[in-house]
Structure 1
């Protein structure tokens, strides 16, 4: 993992960002999925990688270049786009520099040695969702790079600084750069309240969401809780017990507030709340699943939230995770009008991972498959044949925004579907834990499938079920493979394990 040795960006650099050269051997560098039942998933997987590495940009005088681009404006970067991209880049960091791209936010926002107005890129909406700690933690589970985590928490304190920055930033503060003559608005809308945060559609990432603009937003406080939780866990992993305890206390304080004020027991749902009365503002969106990702919910609360996913009148159906409930008056047919029904991969991925934390794997897998099938049908049947910024909630087309089709070739965070949801929910590789040297696999398909060249820490491994009665594993380092609860000791060689199927359930002997 690269470190920032220093950054003195004091001169205006007038050149436009340019696309990075295509990584020549990218196809042989990414993990190789095996899925014989529906090889079209594999085709879409490689299309996502192709688009993602083509969209990288190069700009001089940046902490990190090349960097991951969100596929919108060449001279502008977004926090939440980039953080979500880390969550698929982790599978092939030599092809796509995901976590390294976060340095292009850390340095200009949180360091003090950058002269105002000299940074070469706009940071649009610097009060975008505070997802750095989540992205760093998720990436760390693959790299086991404790030196990088020590650098983040002790040498730079970027994660702690950003938590405080988000908590204390003045409304209307503006990030100033030398990037563009377009004078893009980069002012913050965030404002702290005793029980949360005032926010808005565009800074929250949900641009034209019908949520109440004058309420306290459940995602903002839950994302801060998520940050505190992962700062605490990262500190614990590098042996900093006092810092871990401090951030766990911050987390528990936020957890108490969220469950006391944002949970509506009658509806079994987390809502935004009125800042004066603290009454729920009853608009259902996937933003209400951030408390689950932050692990603030009880098991019973999580179960009630999952029921809304299973309900086709809310978030369920053949095209799940619509961005406002189908029974809400603002839900827009046929194609969603952006965040008024459109299906977006970042919120879909977040909510899928959120319900998995409470053991709802079957429901998560089914929703992920429905979503990936929606993307695949659109890819095959809609021209141009590509991956889109968002998808229609009612038919196999891209979403629309004010009557216009959304952006094409969007990888960007839309790669989360064909890459991350495919690996984690369709192939079933639920967890990679480089610290514990564990891979957890939910084996549930009765045909040949698995993954080759899966990398974590210093390990590269192949894990493939032959569709009959054997799992074949090849590895260059020892680790533990857990298949449907059965622990298998993997050696640095080639092994096979017998599989039995009883009443449709797979078990390893």
Structure 2
């Protein structure tokens, strides 16, 4: 099995994905294999989603990195934040899906100005490369990758600085949509489409320009994970520099964007620095970047569980249900629809502060919605975004007509049936190849777990049934279940859960 694993790592290196598997015929030996007797339909959706995602692996001439992950919109165009999010499910099958490699199409084009047959639609999309590079590194232990992006090519630092110094209307060497980003003394001017939230009501009633709180939080997140990656490589100078930059963003967000009365980070009107009180889950970028203190985080948690905000039967609508522009009937894109990138990010934010039960509950509800939609709505597929009030896809209003959002969107919507299922429904929220560690927030007593989980050089089965956990592994590692530590040995063993 170890030899086979190394063989597929070699396949990944040479990018020969045609050998790794044939399209439409996934080799399940290359994937984590979930077990969940409580909801077998979640397992079915998991495998169907991988099949759909395989259709998003694209080959194209004239591209720096081919194959690459395509978001399922235009064949000649790629989006930064779609691709960043796709890395976060592709990392579970890195020998098959070119997730992390797809980021090179942005690094090489934007930073090294290399020509490509792909255009980048919005070069000023949200910049959280370092977070996803770190998460990929944790899963694979690929130290050479972070040496490349941090030390050799310095892609992460260069993009951080590029984002800081971008000016509106800048023309890059490739055809692209208008750049809206520009830094001000108190944050960032941006655009609705460029932020990723196309028709969001954010900015309603503002005075002058809107300053976007998530842009500040995302740059803080970038600095935070550049610092952490630098520490992994022992580069104290880079770590020190980005620790300082992180602190600057954190202080800025807390000084100007935090509303103590509401317990919320709001966007600002640049003219008078007043709060623009439109609440969306974008606020959880602040928690993901570890900016709130404990009391602030507790107040943000209240919005995540409030059914009139972002909680309820269908969690994570893209605007508060109390907002006057919230569209309960169809979602209307970013006026209420449930988007997997926001849902995933917000779930990881809750996790960061230890709110594992709420992360589990909201993820379970979201998977129920996606599974029911898959099984009852035609066509049976994964959608671009979902209704905030029913098990069905969202619709978007175009003048006097409505139309369904895009289907087969795997694409970032695969984050639900794959990543949220593994990490928050099953509960394997921390898998770290470098620490040889798996942390499991286990819920329920039925048969549940993962077989064939691969992280670094480790291949393991972890399946519980009641109080017994059957584990098999090719190498030793540490398994923590609900805070209790177990030493896993090479071979098969049965662990009895501690009280």
TM-score range, shorter chain: over 0.9
Evaluate the alpha carbon distance shift between residue 26 and residue 277 of structure 1 in structure 2; reply closer, same or farther with a 3 A threshold: farther
Specify every segment of 5 or more residues in structure 1 that has no aligned partner in the other structure, as ranges: 6-19, 178-182, 500-506
- 1:396 deviation in Å? 1.5
Matched, 1:93 2:94: yes
Is contact 2:64-2:116 (8 Å) kept?
A: no
Check the 8 A contact 1:21/1:54 in 2, yes or no: no
Counterpart CA distance in 2 for 1:159 and 1:23 is 35
Aligned length: 475
SS of the aligned residue for 1:429 comes to coil
In 1, Cα distance between the equivalents of 2:177 and 2:132? 23
The residue aligned with 1:460 is: 459
Q: State the Cα distance separating 1:439 from its structure 2 match.
A: 0.3
RMSD of Structure 2 on Structure 1 (CA):
1.7
Task: Indicate if the aligned counterparts of 2:356 and 2:441 stay in contact, CA closer than 8 A.
Answer: no
| Cα distance between partner residues in 1 of 2:360 and 2:443 | 11
Q: Deviation at 1:24?
A: 4.2
Q: CA deviation at 1:465?
A: 0.3
1:76–1:122 Cα contact (<8 Å) kept: yes
Matched, 1:428 2:427: yes
Q: TM-score, normalised by structure 1?
A: 0.91
Q: 2:264 aligns with which of 266, 269, 286?
A: 269
> Matched residue of 2:366: which SS?
helix
Question: Which string of whole-angstrom CA distances, capped at 9 and with x for unpartnered residues, describes residues 253-308 of structure 1?
Answer: 11000111111000000110111221111000011110100001101111100101
> Residues 193-232 of structure 1 correspond to what in structure 2 (within 5 A)?
193-212=184-203, 214-232=209-227
CA distance in 2, matches of 1:60, 1:155: 26
Q: Is the 8 A contact 1:152 1:159 kept in 2?
A: yes
* Cα offset, 1:21, TM superposition: 6.1
Aligned counterpart for 1:153 among listed residues 146, 150, 171? 150
Match of 1:62 in 2: 63
Structure 1 residue 353 displacement after superposition: 0.5
2-structure distance, mates of 1:308, 1:344: 17
What is the match of residue 6 of structure 2?
none
| Matches for 1:301-380 after TM superposition, within 5 Å | 301-380=296-375
1:445 Cα deviation (Å)? 1.5
Q: Is the 8 A contact 2:36 2:449 kept in 1?
A: yes
Q: Matched residues in 1 for 2:471 and 2:22: separation?
A: 35
- The structural deviation recorded for 1:444 is 1.7
Partner of 1:502: none
Aligned to 2:160: 163
Q: Which has the higher helix share?
A: 2
Q: After superposition, where does 1:242-321 map in structure 2 within 5 Å?
A: 242-321=237-316
Who is 2:46 aligned against? 45
Do the aligned residues in 2 keep the contact of 1:292 with 1:357 (CA within 8 Å)? yes
1:478 positional shift? 1.0
1:448-500: CA deviation from partner (whole Å, max 9, x where unpaired): 0100111111111100002x33101111111100111111111111111113x
Which position in structure 2 is the counterpart of 1:485? 483
TM-score, normalising length: structure 2: 0.93
Q: CA–CA distance in 2 between the matches of 1:120 and 1:174?
A: 17
Please say if residues 261 and 278 of structure 1, whose CA atoms lie closer than 8 Å, have aligned partners that are also in contact: yes
- SS of 1:225's equivalent in the other structure is helix
Measure, in 2, the Cα distance between the counterparts of 1:210 and 1:455. Answer: 42
Uncovered stretches (5+) of structure 2, i.e. residues with no partner? 1-8, 14-20
Question: Using the alignment, how far apart are the partners of 2:368 and 2:467 within structure 1?
Answer: 28
